[in-house]
Amino acid sequence: QQSLTVDAAHPLVQAAAQEIRNLHAFFAAWLGGACPPTDEAFRRCEEALAPSFTMVAPSGVRLSRAEVLGWLR
């Protein structure tokens, strides 16, 4: 089996890691009530999720992007 080595200093890896941190900060603020409940603020979430995005809930139910966004709203 071949192993994969990731260069943590690579600019693409750094950009991906920063996007994860930024999106996590958005979710913490949005769900914690520290973010204004405006369309402008929520756009951050909408722009991050691809049209084909799905999420599997703990119950095993697969949710579409629209269902997830609706739940978060």
Cβ-count burial 38-57 (b if 16+ within 10 Å, e if not): eeeebebbeeebeeeeeeee
pLDDT, tens only, 5-25: 889 999 999 999 999 999 999
Q: What was the pLDDT predicted at 2? A: 84
Give the SS3 label for residue 68. Answer: helix
25-41 residue pLDDT tens? 999 999 999 999 999 99
The overall pTM is greater than 0.95: no
% residues pLDDT > 90 (the chain): 92
Q: What is the pLDDT of residues 47-58, one digit of tens each?
A: 999 999 999 999
Question: Measuring CA to CA, how many Å separate 2 from each of 9, 12, 22, 54, 64?
Answer: 22, 22, 32, 29, 34
